[in-house]
């Protein structure tokens, strides 16, 4: 019987187990339109749901590169996508987020809920 204490690994030295954004297949990519506001948020959610339903497990990528006009409703859209993805056993990452979106995420304290890659 060994009495050695196992070495504790520094979390900074641990390998990153999350897949890189470019490793997420296109079939698991949601593309936000150029505008997400209170006027179209429900339509955007409805547009994204079929892709979310087909992406059990793994990560889902939300491509925000086309997003130009937005209000806080975009957070409701992203949080609903996150909720649906997690219900399917998937994670959610946001890529190519414009500064206005990252500012909103920080302003609302949602940075622990919405991962921006």
Between residues 38 and 2, which one has the greater pLDDT?
Answer: 38
**Domain assignment of residue 65, given as a range:** 26-116
Tell me the pLDDT tens digit for each residue of 55-85.
677 789 999 999 999 999 999 999 999 999 9
DSSP symbol at 10: P
Confidence (pLDDT) at 26? 57
User: What pTM does this model have?
Assistant: 0.77
Q: How far apart are CA 72 and CA 87, in angstroms?
A: 23
Q: Is residue 5 part of a domain?
A: no
Residue 9 lies in a domain: no
Q: Which pLDDT belongs to residue 55?
A: 67
Is 71 inside a domain boundary? yes
- Residue in the structure block whose two tokens are 């209000």: 71
Residue 12 lies in a domain: no
Q: Answer whether residue 96 is part of any domain.
A: yes
CATH number at residue 91: 3.30.750.24
The more confident residue out of 45 and 57 is 45
Q: Where are the alpha helices (DSSP H) in 3-98?
A: 41-53, 73-87
As given in the structure block, the two tokens for residue 67 are: 């997003």
What's the rounded Cα separation, in Å, for the pair 6 and 90? 33
Helix (H/G/I), strand (E/B), else coil: 91: strand
Residue 51 lies in a domain: yes
């Amino acid at each position: 019987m060994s009495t050695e204490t196992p070495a504790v690994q520094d979390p900074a030295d641990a390998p990153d187990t999350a897949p890189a954004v470019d490793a997420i297949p296109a079939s698991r990519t949601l593309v936000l339109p150029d505008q997400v506001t209170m006027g179209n948020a429900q339509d955007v959610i409805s547009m994204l749901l079929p892709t979310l339903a087909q992406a059990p497990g793994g990560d889902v990528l939300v491509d925000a590169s086309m997003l130009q006009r937005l209000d806080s409703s975009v957070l409701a859209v992203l949080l609903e996508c996150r909720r649906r993805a997690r219900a399917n056993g998937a994670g959610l990452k946001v890529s190519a987020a414009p500064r206005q979106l990252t500012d909103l995420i920080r302003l609302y304290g949602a940075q622990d809920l919405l991962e921006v890659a």
